[in-house]
Amino acid sequence: MSKVALLLSGRLGEYEDCISNITSNIIEPLNADLYMYVSQGGKKDGIKEDMEPLKKYSPIKLEIEGDEPPAAVGFPPSPYHMHRKLQACFNLVDKQYDWIIKFRPDCKLAEPLDLSKLNPEEYNIPIGGDWCGGIGDIFCASNHSNMKYYCNLLEYVKDYSSRHPESMLKEHLHSVDINRFELDILLRKFYYGSIHKVCDRKYNVQGL
């Protein structure tokens, strides 16, 4: 069986409503180890306790950030901190994996993730979410080496022309093999389905 790691990074948002879904659709079926680097996002206490039930499925490495440091000069705070936390989350990984999955703690999947349909040599990114002509950044799955590059965008960003998250990611991945596939994702209580294949257009949003 493949060794799988799940990275959850960023603001916790509605993670309390999402963590059971992530457990049943990613952690449990894939026997994935969980690595989290998150900021509190208004939640001050009980985060580690909330993660306790997950330990029956996977080892957990969890780091909770307090106040965010200033963004780098010339960099919008939101995309800077998003990629900084993703990089910090990857740095928690302490063993080699066949698959590493990047996801968000405030999202859900509509069904269990099936890695057998994906190629670990490619960057597997769902169709949709390609804001400003970029590439959607909610989810990516690939092998360990590829995900090390994916998660370390900040090491290369000085060479990129854009500071928009999805546009930066497109520049970052311009020379790699990307597989766009269908994956239904629920984000912030709205439906962001893989049927939305038109780039540079806002998703059609269907309330839950």
Q: Say yes or no to pLDDT of 205 above 50.
A: no
Residue listed under structure tokens 């509605």:
14
What pLDDT is stored for residue 145 in this prediction? Answer: 98
SS (HEC) of 54-71: HHHCCCEEEEEECCCCCC
- pTM for the full predicted model: 0.85
Give the C-alpha separation, 74 to 163, whole Å. Answer: 9
What pLDDT is stored for residue 170 in this prediction? Answer: 92
pLDDT averaged over every residue in the chain: 82
pLDDT, tens digit, for every residue of 24-58? 999 999 999 999 998 765 555 667 777 777 777 77
User: What percent of the chain is modeled with pLDDT above 90?
Assistant: 47
The lowest-confidence range among 3-12, 146-155, 192-201 is 192-201
What pLDDT is stored for residue 57 in this prediction? Answer: 73
Residue listed under structure tokens 């590493």:
100
pLDDT, tens digit, for every residue of 49-100? 777 777 777 778 988 887 677 777 677 777 888 889 999 999 999 999 999 9
- Burial tier of 170 (Cβ tally within 10 Å: 0-12, 13-18, 19+): buried
What pLDDT is stored for residue 90 in this prediction? Answer: 97
| Section 92-113 average pLDDT | 94
Cα 37 to Cα 62, 136, 157: the distances in Å are 6, 20, 21
CB atoms near residue 29 (< 10 Å): 15
What pLDDT is stored for residue 195 in this prediction? Answer: 35
